[in-house]
Amino acid sequence: MIEDQENELGAMWRASTPVDVTLIADRVRGLNRLHRRINQTSFVVSVVIALLIGLAELLGELPTGGVLFAAFTALIIAPLLHHRWAKKRLTAQWSSEPRAMLVFAADRARAGLRLARGLYAGVPIGIIVGYSGGAALGRLNGVTADQLPLWALLATALLVAITSVAGVRMARRRSEDIKHFEARIRSMDYAV
Amino acid sequence: MARDDDTFKVWVADHGGLIARIASTYERRPALVEELVQDVLVAIWRAQPSFRGQSSVRTFVARIAHNVCVSHVRRADTVSLGPLDETIPDHGTGPELDVDARLKRDKLLAAIHALPVALRQTMSLHLEGFSGAEIGEALSVTENNVGVRLARARATLQQSFGGSRS
């Protein structure tokens, strides 16, 4: 009897399609293509800029002796490698065990929370410590720093305000994520 | 296996309904279900090269769908268990699904929403017609564990349906 009812429910369940997946798949394919083109264009633009910097250094137009070229190249390659590594890791997690996926997601949220704390607390503290340290070091060497111009003060205040607001918002979201993932892990553990 | 647009199309055609139904057990609002389906499709597209044919495509797709859903669902929609949004559209059935059947399905969906995640995953795959072994493979649990989860899910569903499942 129960089996009959379950078969009936199963048939009813399988007969429904809550959203039109084919349309969404077309959109996903379009977005993938667009994403790939944007990535390729950004990469080409970055390579051209790196080559121009290298050429300028080679011709002596830039007196940086190859340092700028090396720094710029590293700034392109390092995030690219990190992005590829992170994407590969995430992809591997998607096809792994659901609980491990949640633990992985919670760890990522914790890393995000640390970054957010760095933004709203680390940046202002870093600026204050850096400025005070520099001034103290100058006084020790008998150099008196000039009064900072108003525009520099305003720019610093704006930077601190932006990073603090972004950091606080990000921290709130990541904290919610951590709670959410932990609740889901508990829910899975409870049912096992 | 390399990333291949044609294979992806076939997978979507064959298992699109499964993906949509899994997403609908995690999200209530149609717009969020669509968003979640999109996330699942992106994940499947990216995970395509990791498919080695060790399991069926259906199990592979179900596993990714559950993993993405379980980590992406919005908090507000999963914590509260209020009445089901009656405006959920149904693109697969149309007018042939009568009001009574629609109400039954909505009631079933609401009851599934009320289950803990692990039971919800197991019951939705069971209703999809997955065997115990396939559910175990998709969720990385033993077949015995699937049996335990199904028994608990049935008991909870029976309570939700007021002792009768019809």
Do A20 and B41 lie within an 8 Å CB cutoff?
A: no
- Residue indicated by tokens 């559950």: B66
> Alpha helix (H) ranges present in B48-98?
57-72, 75-79
Task: Average the pLDDT over B130-158 and give the result.
Answer: 89
**Per-residue pLDDT, B79:** 45
**Per-residue pLDDT, B147:** 92
Helix (H) or strand (E) holding B39: helix B30-47
Closest partner residue to B108 among A13, A22, A101, by Cβ? Answer: A13
Do A24 and B34 lie within an 8 Å CB cutoff?
A: yes
Q: Does B110 touch chain A (CB under 8 A)?
A: no
**Per-residue pLDDT, B162:** 62
pTM of the predicted model over 0.80: no
Cα nearest neighbour of B96 on chain A: A15
Q: Does B146 touch chain A (CB under 8 A)?
A: no
Residues of chain B with C-beta less than 8 angstroms from the C-beta of A21: 12, 16-17, 19-20, 37, 41
Question: In this predicted model, what pLDDT tens digit does every residue of B1-20 receive, in sequence order?
Answer: 667 788 888 999 999 999 99
Which amino acid, residue A58? L
Do A17 and B92 lie within an 8 Å CB cutoff?
A: yes
Structure tokens given for B81: 């268990």
How far is it, in rounded angstroms, from Cα B55 to Cα B133?
11
How far is it, in rounded angstroms, from Cα A69 to Cα A71?
6
Cα nearest neighbour of A181 on chain B: B71
Cα nearest neighbour of A108 on chain B: B71
Question: Are B123 and B115 in contact, with CB atoms under 8 Å apart?
Answer: yes
ipTM over 0.85? The verdict is no
Question: In this predicted model, what pLDDT tens digit does every residue of A130-172 receive, in sequence order?
Answer: 888 877 877 777 766 666 678 878 888 898 899 999 999 999 9
- Residue indicated by tokens 């940046």: A123
